[in-house]
Structure 1
Amino acid sequence: MVDVTKWPIFSLMGPEDLSSIRKACVFGSSGNEAIYITHDDEVYVFGLNCSSCLGTGDTQSTIVPKKLDILGGRKVVSLSYGSGPHILLATEDGALFAWGHNNYSQLGNGTTNQGVAPVTVSANLLNKKVTEVACGSHHSMALTDSGEVYAWGYNNCGQVGSGSTANQPTPRRVSTCLQNKVAVSIVCSQTSSLALVDNGEVYGWGYNGNGQLGLGNNGNQLTPCRLGGLQGVCVQQIVSGYAHSLALTDKGLLYAWGSNTYGQLGTSNKSNQLSPIQIMTDKERVVEVAACHSTHTSAAKTQSGQVYMWGQCRGQCVVLPHLTHFTCTDDVFACFATPSVMWRLLSTEHEDFLTVAQSLKREFDNPETADLKLCIDGKYIHVHKAVLKIRCEHFRSMFQSHWNEDMKEVIEIDQFSYSVYRSFLEFLYTDNVELPPEDAIGQTHTHTSDTSEMPVLIQCACGPSGLLDLATSYCENRLKCLCQHIIKRGITVENAFSMLSAAVRYDAEDLEEFCFKFCVNHLTEVTQTAAFWQIDGNLLKDFICRASRCGAFKN
């Protein structure tokens, strides 16, 4: 599932609101506006509200999400945004809504008045069912369920495809050589347009100064023209960046053309390409390609799930596809693109498919699938022998045929507490550790001696040990590191010296150094704690000598 908080604007929201999001889109010149749809099909907006692009009926910015009542309960199927910005939104019943910047009639309502709230775009679209929308900088397109393409708005370069350069105030069907074609997808760069038809052909029109139409020249095109450079291949996906375009074929081959100032074509140089050129030829089959007209960034996902990016990356130019650690192309735009916007209406819904890691996490302590019970402090934890053997050398040895444990259905654990051992087992299933610092380092208790009124802090000699002790005993170095992080986060004046003692006992050098520095930095307070005066004499002596060498006792 995609994490929308990777887009900075969503970090404003709390966990409860975030969990309600089903679809979302971040847009705007700086990624400062967002729209999202909840599981109940309610539409909310928040952000800067440039050109009234939030559609709230006013010009006020808001960090608190506001509901667009007019869209409530209508299932959103397509959404796009322009540079003004202006918004186009299509619903499942085929209705088309628009709002925001309208200086060039890009809202399609025949006026140039700002659209402060969503209005239905109906001119020339009556009885038409819109299935997809696309926005350029200041022009708009809509695709109907019958494969017709409509365009309107700014037309200085012919991006509306009408044969002239006059602005188009209402939707007009893009015809000429698309007249008898069935379009299946539409995209826009800043001032040009592309359409993909059902037989895999691609048509382009509008501005072509950087070769973004892929026609082999750099002259503007006032009506749709087929991309001859893609003849002989069947394209199944097209996307456009600010001034470049990408096409993915049904064989998983990827083509790029247009502007290459930032390396966004992925050709290893910065030369523009007037015709489509195949890229990523040394990689496996590509299954998805991504770009949006607000950025100079490109991304692609391969058959095995690897995600590559190239082009503008936080101010740098990446001229060849670079393998990322992401699992979806959306994250490329969240983390690398400028501005940090979304290239499509993003779905956050869970897929039915679970990864191996997610499946393992779900099966931890599941009595229905477990084949072994571990009993600690009279409580049971249900586990799977195979998982334990795969993840831990200790269990791999334990479940040998000559060990008694290999035949048991229940194994008693008495040297560790329930919370500590459960955290250890959960770590084997999830790679994560969640427990308090006290449990990480081992339980302690205080008592008062017969000869002194001062409370004495004593490490339990025969009682439960901490997770750090377990990790050391089982030679689990990764777990040992995680325990040390937990302990560092939980260090206080009261427990610092006992933590230092434990770090020495478990030979955790990094933790020992951290605890030592903490004790020195808070020396006066630490020396007044019970732990400081009742700790092992040799350790106390070593600490005083070491602290003295650091100048801790100088006036």
Structure 2
Amino acid sequence: MEPFGVLEGRTYDDGSSVQDSVLVHFRRGVRMVLHRFGTEEKFILLGKGNQLYSLGLVPDAETPQEILLNDEAWKVEAGSSEDIGAVQILGTKEEALVVNHMLELFSVKYAESQLGRRLLPEHKVIQLACSDIHFLALTTHGAVFAYGQNNYGQLGLGNADQVEEPTQLDLKMTVAQVSTPAFATFVACGQAHSVVICQNESVLCFGMNNTHQCGMNSNGQSLVTPTPLNAQKQIIKACCGSAHSLFLSSDGTLLGAGNGAKGQLGPNYRSSHLLSTIQLPDTFTGKIIDIFAHSQLNVSVLMNDHGRYYVSGEAGELIGSKQVIDDFFLLVLVKQHAVTVGSRLICMQPETQRYQARYNVPACCDVQVVGGAVVGEEQPKILHFGWDTIRARAPFLTNSIKSKGGSAARADHQVRIENYSWNAVDAYGKYLHQDNLDAEPEVLLELLQLASEYKDETGLQSLCASVLRRKVTNDNLCTCFKKCMKFKFFGLAADVLKQGLNLTNACEALNIAGDAVRKAVDDSEKTMVEHIRDTVMAFAILHAKVVVEDAKFADLQPEIAKQLLQKLASMNLLKT
């Protein structure tokens, strides 16, 4: 059998390459993770034909880095090249875990030579978190299942007993002295402790806590049940190292807890610490958008909004040193897509690190959403949203579905989003599932109204406004301006005027502003609208000769034309 390739950055015969056995770049541009079984030289990866392959070292002392591809591929039911990107491979030292594009979870034992059994056959799995000895699986219904060693209570099952099958955690949050089931949205595993983030960014921690890695004081005792963490901030992301934890809040604050002896919590926390705010060095630029750690390492990684990595902890080899990095250091590598310490992959770029929720795929989505009619078609189309995504990102829509008797168990549940076009509903679905917002200005304005009606808390309104400002042109100014006034987005209306008002659309903009003044419902609204109208009027006066001589001047509403001429006369700008 010919060698499939070599490790340590050498090249495979299909043109792909790996870095220390953990990251592979295929010629078609898809990056996938190789899973390495503990310290054993056996790996699995998703490769040719969208199938899973096993890799093993050639038993030849002279060429110890050569690896062979197993002749028999294990099917993972990936139907197209797009589906490869939806496959997640993680695992413990004895078992690989594979989530395919249909959110089905499969197990591959180290000693096995084929794709093993399916775990949790009644559930869809959207995220995995693993250490070398245990794992957590998050389902689309917000449930968390735990499996593996449990000697410190890291499975959160209320005891320290090992379990042989994935077992569901009893997640509860206490609100107003009432304990209710919690809907989980994110999971993370340390070496022997775990973190679960639930709705409303509440946090539960459990497992080993001898260095306060769970963020609280338990007098050195392990926490065998999920225990609320009093973070006093909304936590949107967590990651766990060997004996420390990092938490990222919605306002961009970085918090840390646990053992900082190796610099993994920065220079100010070099022993065991309860949950504390971590001060970043002056050299850190931009905003933190993601945080990473590895369950077996004393390393912390931050990524800013420019995609740059900052590393702290026991990762000196990344900068050619054997020492620890005691403060977050900018890691500068050309075309850097991952951070790897030894044979451990700390992180990849986020678009390949986690499964991205599928959108409008009936097999993966639980809720049918009926939007407005498509232009040129009589009947509205049906879109498919994921119930897990709705529950995590759209509380208003969640409550609307529940009020109609909907639940995650009803895969055929249907909900109608009234008063919005199909394009707007489609754009809303893409935003919820993929954080993708690329729509025409008219659609963005509908989304602004929808975000207001639905009391959106994800930042959709500000994002719509930002994108809209960039997309306003002289040609679409009046359409955008009219809808801004209709939806009473007066501040945005003033902004779009600055972007696109010119001599060709000034008369039409004056008419729109005049209509808004007449339709104002109270004095406060009338004052704001009159201010906007006066802004357009001032522009028309500044360019009076061109405006008055323009053929569109004849289309001005009589009242608006009269006001303009009176102002010009008062300024002695009219010739008789």
From 71, 78, 85, the equivalent of 1:73 is 78
| CA distance 1:288–1:20, shift in 2 (3 Å) | same
SS in 2 for 1:279: coil
Is the 2:211–2:272 contact (alpha carbons within 8 Å) kept by the matching residues of 1? Answer: yes
SS in 1 for 2:324: strand
Q: For residue 184 of structure 2, what is the aligned residue in structure 1? A: 183
CA drift of 1:326 comes to 3.5
Is the 1:35–1:46 contact (alpha carbons within 8 Å) kept by the matching residues of 2? Answer: yes
From 316, 321, 339, the equivalent of 2:323 is 316
CA drift of 1:166 comes to 1.0
Q: Distance in 2 between the 1:304 and 1:138 partners?
A: 34
Is the 2:51–2:75 contact (alpha carbons within 8 Å) kept by the matching residues of 1? Answer: no
Q: Which amino acid aligns with 1:219?
A: Q
SS in 2 for 1:19: coil
C-alpha deviations, 1:99-121, integer Å up to 9, x for none?
A: 235xxxxxxxxxxxx54433224
Q: Distance in 1 between the 2:130 and 2:210 partners?
A: 19
Q: Which amino acid aligns with 2:75?
A: I
Q: Distance in 2 between the 1:49 and 1:216 partners?
A: 49
Q: For residue 410 of structure 2, what is the aligned residue in structure 1? A: none
| CA distance 1:23–1:198, shift in 2 (3 Å) | farther
Q: Distance in 1 between the 2:259 and 2:57 partners?
A: 30
Q: Distance in 2 between the 1:24 and 1:250 partners?
A: 29
Q: Which amino acid aligns with 1:165?
A: A
**What is the CA RMSD across the aligned residues, in angstroms?**
3.3
CA drift of 1:144 comes to 0.6
CA drift of 1:308 comes to 0.8
Q: Which amino acid aligns with 2:253?
A: L
Q: Distance in 1 between the 2:206 and 2:335 partners?
A: 30
Matching of residue 260 in structure 1 with residue 299 in structure 2? no
Q: For residue 96 of structure 2, what is the aligned residue in structure 1? A: 87
Matching of residue 167 in structure 1 with residue 162 in structure 2? yes
Q: Distance in 1 between the 2:58 and 2:139 partners?
A: 29
C-alpha deviations, 1:377-433, integer Å up to 9, x for none?
A: xxxxxxxxxxxxxxxxxxxxxxxxxxxxxxxxxxxxxxxxxxxxxxxxxxxxxxxxx
The two structures have a TM-score, normalised by structure 2, of 0.49
| CA distance 1:242–1:12, shift in 2 (3 Å) | farther
1:116-131 → structure 2 map (5 Å cutoff): 116-122=113-119, 125-131=120-126
| CA distance 1:267–1:47, shift in 2 (3 Å) | farther
CA drift of 1:224 comes to 0.3
C-alpha deviations, 1:254-285, integer Å up to 9, x for none?
A: 11111223111123452122324333275442
From 125, 147, 150, the equivalent of 2:145 is 150
| CA distance 1:49–1:80, shift in 2 (3 Å) | farther
Q: Distance in 2 between the 1:345 and 1:46 partners?
A: 24
Q: Distance in 2 between the 1:208 and 1:142 partners?
A: 22
Q: Distance in 1 between the 2:343 and 2:301 partners?
A: 15
1:25-424 → structure 2 map (5 Å cutoff): 25-28=33-36, 29=38, 33-38=42-47, 41-48=50-57, 63-66=67-70, 68-73=73-78, 75=83, 76-82=86-92, 84-100=93-109, 114-122=111-119, 125-177=120-172, 180-217=181-218, 218-228=220-230, 230-231=231-232, 233-280=233-280, 282=282, 283=284, 284-313=286-315, 314=317, 315-326=322-333, 330-333=337-340, 337-343=341-347
Q: Distance in 2 between the 1:36 and 1:21 partners?
A: 15
C-alpha deviations, 1:120-140, integer Å up to 9, x for none?
A: 244xx3421111112222112
Is the 1:307–1:327 contact (alpha carbons within 8 Å) kept by the matching residues of 2? Answer: no
SS in 1 for 2:182: coil
Q: Distance in 2 between the 1:186 and 1:42 partners?
A: 27
SS in 2 for 1:119: coil
Q: Distance in 2 between the 1:199 and 1:259 partners?
A: 28
Q: Distance in 2 between the 1:223 and 1:129 partners?
A: 24
Is the 1:252–1:287 contact (alpha carbons within 8 Å) kept by the matching residues of 2? Answer: yes
| CA distance 1:22–1:272, shift in 2 (3 Å) | same
Is the 1:25–1:346 contact (alpha carbons within 8 Å) kept by the matching residues of 2? Answer: no
CA drift of 1:286 comes to 0.5
Is the 1:136–1:192 contact (alpha carbons within 8 Å) kept by the matching residues of 2? Answer: no
Is the 1:288–1:300 contact (alpha carbons within 8 Å) kept by the matching residues of 2? Answer: yes
| CA distance 1:62–1:328, shift in 2 (3 Å) | closer
CA drift of 1:48 comes to 4.8
CA drift of 1:91 comes to 1.6
| CA distance 1:172–1:280, shift in 2 (3 Å) | same
SS in 1 for 2:154: coil
SS in 1 for 2:15: helix
Q: Distance in 1 between the 2:269 and 2:211 partners?
A: 15
| CA distance 1:242–1:338, shift in 2 (3 Å) | farther
The two structures have a TM-score, normalised by structure 1, of 0.51
| CA distance 1:133–1:292, shift in 2 (3 Å) | same
Is the 1:257–1:275 contact (alpha carbons within 8 Å) kept by the matching residues of 2? Answer: yes
Q: Distance in 2 between the 1:317 and 1:35 partners?
A: 31
Identical pairs, percent: 22
Q: Distance in 2 between the 1:264 and 1:328 partners?
A: 25
Point out the structure with max Rg over C-alpha.
1
Is the 1:70–1:118 contact (alpha carbons within 8 Å) kept by the matching residues of 2? Answer: yes
SS in 2 for 1:16: coil
Q: Which runs of 5+ in 2 are unaligned?
A: 17-25, 174-179, 354-576
Matching of residue 23 in structure 1 with residue 22 in structure 2? no
Q: Which runs of 5+ in 1 are unaligned?
A: 51-59, 102-113, 350-555
CA drift of 1:167 comes to 0.6
SS in 1 for 2:10: helix
| CA distance 1:32–1:126, shift in 2 (3 Å) | closer
Q: Which amino acid aligns with 1:317?
A: V
| CA distance 1:44–1:348, shift in 2 (3 Å) | farther
Q: Which amino acid aligns with 1:120?
A: R
SS in 2 for 1:93: coil
Q: For residue 105 of structure 1, what is the aligned residue in structure 2? A: none
When structure 1 is superposed on structure 2, of 183-192 and 70-79 the one drifting more is 70-79
Q: Distance in 2 between the 1:64 and 1:295 partners?
A: 29
Q: Which amino acid aligns with 2:314?
A: Q
Q: Distance in 2 between the 1:243 and 1:115 partners?
A: 31
Q: Distance in 1 between the 2:170 and 2:58 partners?
A: 35
C-alpha deviations, 1:47-96, integer Å up to 9, x for none?
A: 4599xxxxxxxxx99712336323252644433222x2421111222311
1:411-450 → structure 2 map (5 Å cutoff): none
Q: Which amino acid aligns with 1:331?
A: A
Q: Which amino acid aligns with 2:88?
A: S
